[in-house]
Amino acid sequence: MSHAEVERVLHYPMTPDAPLEPPAEWAKLRQECPVARVTLPSGDEATLLTRYEDVKQVLADPRFTRQLTADDAARISDSDTGVFSSEMASVIPDSGEGHLRWRRLVGRWFTAKRMAALRPGIEAMAEQLIDDMVERGQPADLKASLGFPLPVYVICDLLGVPAADRDRFAYWSDTLLNLTRYTQADMDAALGEFVQYMAAHVAAKRAEPGEDLLSELAKSADEGGLTDAELIATGMGLLVAGHETTANMIGKMISMLLADRSRWERLLADPSLVRPAVEEALRFDANSGFGLPRYIPEEAEVAGTVLPRGTTVVCSMAAANRDESVFDGADEMDLGRSPNPHLAFGSGAHSCMGQALARTELQVVLEVLLRKLPTLDLAVPAQELRRVDGLVVGGLSEVPVRW
């Protein structure tokens, strides 16, 4: 990149040449311009970080806040980002003591031990969904058949929502997150129905607690636990945080593994690689979405560059995950890579609370597919997979497969 080109303001996010590949700019930015000025879709300017050390440092530094509502913070796009800025979602505290309290209360449900206990249930759901897909015949869309429903079913279980209501949850989540195109009227109606359902559900759990997360949080209300509004917001927050992300990751992981079928064969030959292969898919995912925006209300320094107060910083975890100075052969997908300290779940105090659950879901999906459909393959050339246009979370619109 010549000096003149570096001076020119870049547009972010950048578009890659192929659906599973990173944009060519990332490597150049890491090398030549680790603290880059970019223009966001809204036209506002921000500072883009692409190096591993810098991204990790900023995500762990509480001076870099999530307060993107500040007057001089950059807006990501012109349109409202929907549910992310809705009042319901903002009931979940964003920072400080309140966030810590919420995180510790809810976090007890995301321990490794609980995940081990959830695993057989997730396995049964994955098997059922795969059986249904096989019965409907090939080719099939793996995203719609498995990637999309599984994470909703899992969250329903967590919330104690009965199996009969799962598909309503899937519809609400789809509508609220606007995964498929919906009108504002559809979204408003879905939000109303969801809140009404959750309010009744919370009341029922208070009256007759079960073994689920909501019952547990409701029970502890007297001991400084959560209010009804917080419980409803927690249910919604978990859907928002855990559905689209995991659904897309299932599709992308399987696509990456099938795009070069020797990867799939290697897993068939050695299923003990499932765990590191999931981590490597998370690292290698070049289409993980926008990255994490942060706002600094005071001056700060990153990689020797002073950022004035009021700067909005965008951390590209996907670019950081391809940093050669941390990952040997960063542009190779190495299914046995270990350790693999990728940043796909963020880092520090806000790093993904559901990561143990997400990992469990991804491992189970991969194990069950390898076992039940060893002949699985993409039904279209990998180059023809299409990315979704969603701005926040990256994914593929369909994952056509045969077996």
Q: Which residues contribute to the site for ligand HEM (CB under 6 A)?
A: 66, 103, 155, 237-238, 241-242, 245-246, 249, 292, 344-346, 350-354, 357-358
Cβ closest to another protein, residue 10 vs residue 60: 60
66 binds, among ligand HEM, another protein, none (CB under 5 to 8 A by kind): ligand HEM
Task: Decide: helix, strand or coil at residue 146.
Answer: helix
Tell me the residue nearest to ligand HEM as measured from the CB: 354
Q: Specify the DSSP element, H or E, that contains 367.
A: helix 355-372
Residue 150 Ramachandran class (φ > 0 left, ψ -120 to 50 alpha, else beta):
alpha
Nearest to 113 by CA among 368, 366, 356: 356
Sheet containing 10-11: order of strands: 10-11, 35-39, 45-49, 312-315, 292-295
In the complex, minimum distance from the CB of residue 247 to ligand HEM, in angstroms, rounded to a whole number: 9
| Angle (nearest 5°) at CA 149 between 148 and 150 | 100
In the complex, minimum distance from the CB of residue 151 to another protein, in angstroms, rounded to a whole number: 18
Cβ closest to ligand HEM, residue 333 vs residue 352: 352
Distance CA 250, CA 94 (A): 28
3 binds, among ligand HEM, another protein, none (CB under 5 to 8 A by kind): none
In the complex, minimum distance from the CB of residue 325 to another protein, in angstroms, rounded to a whole number: 15
Question: Percent helix, strand, coil in the chain (nearest 5)?
Answer: 55, 10, 35
Distance CA 26, CA 17 (A): 13
Cβ closest to ligand HEM, residue 128 vs residue 351: 351
344 binds, among ligand HEM, another protein, none (CB under 5 to 8 A by kind): ligand HEM
The alpha helices in 166-243, defined as continuous H runs, are 166-176, 184-207, 213-219, 228-242
> In angstroms, how far is CA 100 from the centroid of its own chain?
21
Q: Specify the DSSP element, H or E, that contains 33.
A: none
Distance CA 59, CA 54 (A): 9
Cβ closest to another protein, residue 105 vs residue 161: 105
In the complex, minimum distance from the CB of residue 288 to ligand HEM, in angstroms, rounded to a whole number: 7
In the complex, minimum distance from the CB of residue 290 to another protein, in angstroms, rounded to a whole number: 19
115 binds, among ligand HEM, another protein, none (CB under 5 to 8 A by kind): another protein
113 binds, among another protein, ligand HEM, none (CB under 5 to 8 A by kind): another protein
235 binds, among ligand HEM, another protein, none (CB under 5 to 8 A by kind): none
Cβ closest to ligand HEM, residue 149 vs residue 354: 354
In the complex, minimum distance from the CB of residue 280 to ligand HEM, in angstroms, rounded to a whole number: 13
DSSP bridge pairs for 293: 314
Cβ closest to another protein, residue 118 vs residue 399: 118
In the complex, minimum distance from the CB of residue 199 to ligand HEM, in angstroms, rounded to a whole number: 20
Question: Which residues lie near another protein (CB under 8 A)?
Answer: 60, 103-105, 107-113, 115, 338-341, 345-353, 355-356, 359
User: Do 49 and 302 meet the contact criterion of CB atoms below 8 Å apart?
Assistant: yes
Cβ closest to another protein, residue 239 vs residue 278: 278
What is the Cα Rg of the chain in Å?
A: 21
In the complex, minimum distance from the CB of residue 111 to another protein, in angstroms, rounded to a whole number: 4
Task: Decide: helix, strand or coil at residue 401.
Answer: strand
Cβ closest to ligand HEM, residue 43 vs residue 348: 348
